[in-house]
Amino acid sequence: MSRTIPYSAKRDDLYYPCKGAQFFASGLPNSEAKLCVELARLAYCRATNSFAFDQERIRKVLVNVAFTDCHFVESTGGKDGRGVHAFVALRQDLAVVSFRGTDKDDPTDIGDDINLRLIPWAAGGRVHCGFSGALDQLLPGIQKALEGVTSRILVTGHSLGAAMAVLLSSRQRPAGLYTFGCPRVGDANFVSTLAGFLHVRYMDCCDLVARVPPEICGYANLAPPHYIDREGNVHFDPPDDFITRDRVNGATEYLEQYAWRTGDVGVRDLADHAPVNYMYAVMNE
């Protein structure tokens, strides 16, 4: 790989996104996309002995980027904090709802991911049953946290978190929706409910999660992608043949340089899903 933008093939960066992570290393971001990619990664920070949020660590990070308050919303009833999680970060001019993505050690998240039956959605169309059920667990708490908020509202997430962010945005239209490694969420009629507000969807090269569930099962693509090529450069809605060639070359290069190394992910289809790789690309835009 000839890229100059940093890249990680490490299993820990894919499976434990906050392990040893530094957030906002360059200080206050100069774009909403840069802010959201880090807040989506920050949502993975969990306590040492449970799946619950590491609230102290998250608050410390948020203070450094001018947020003055944070509400933590977590599903209840799960053993050791298992389930779905989101936080609502607040400052005078902005509120950001950030959802946690799939935690590989939490079987309830895996259950949500694989329950891909399409069910009716109140705003229109049909959506992924597991994603819809996951959002239902958090929606009352998020709505309560946003009561009285008059500033701009952004919604963000990575992976499963991105899917829940999309569903929330269909119900309560934000000023902007920023998703990273988002799977398909619903059918074409559902996708039409997302028209009329800003949705910036990042898709990293070979990332498998951003290409499932398959369209043959009735699912449709969301907004045109901001595609991250194999060298870490971002292209808005490039042609399909460009993406196909880039993925083939990227997968081949990965096998030669990373797949055989101890501690690295075996295939690029998974390595490209790591939140840190989205962060590297977005921060270098």
Q: Which pLDDT value is given to residue 229?
A: 98
pLDDT digits (tens, 9 = 90+) for 260-277: 999 999 999 999 999 999
**Is 130 within the bounds of a domain?**
yes
pLDDT band for 24, please (50, 70, 90 cuts): very high
Q: How many distinct structural domains can be found in the chain?
A: 1
Q: Which pLDDT value is given to residue 80?
A: 82
**Is 6 within the bounds of a domain?**
no
**Is 1 within the bounds of a domain?**
no
Q: What is the CATH number of the domain that holds 72?
A: 3.40.50.1820
As a whole-number percent, the residues of the chain with pLDDT over 70 amount to 99
pLDDT band for 109, please (50, 70, 90 cuts): confident
- What is the pTM for the complete model shown? 0.97
**Is 60 within the bounds of a domain?**
yes
**Is 117 within the bounds of a domain?**
yes
pLDDT digits (tens, 9 = 90+) for 41-69: 999 999 988 999 999 999 999 999 999 99
**Is 239 within the bounds of a domain?**
yes
Q: DSSP string of the chain?
A: ---SS----BHHHHH-TTTT----TTSS-SSHHHHHHHHHHHTT-B-TTSSSB-HHHHHHHHHHTT--EEEEEE-SS-GGG-S-EEEEEEETTEEEEEE----TT-HHHHHHHH---EEE-TTSSEEEHHHHHHHHHHHHHHHHHTTT--SEEEEEEETHHHHHHHHHHHHS--SEEEEESPPP-B-HHHHHTTTTSEEEEEEETT-SGGG-S-GGGT----SPEEEE-TTS-EEES--HHHHHHHHHHHHHHHHHHTTTSTTB-S-HHHHTT-HHHHHHHHHT-
pLDDT digits (tens, 9 = 90+) for 82-99: 899 999 999 999 999 999
**Is 4 within the bounds of a domain?**
no
Asked whether the predicted pLDDT for residue 79 surpasses 90, the reply is no
Q: Which pLDDT value is given to residue 224?
A: 96
**Structural domain span for residue 20:** 11-283
pLDDT digits (tens, 9 = 90+) for 124-172: 999 999 999 999 999 999 999 999 999 999 999 999 999 999 999 999 9
Q: What is the mean pLDDT of the chain?
A: 95
**Is 3 within the bounds of a domain?**
no
Q: Which pLDDT value is given to residue 76?
A: 72
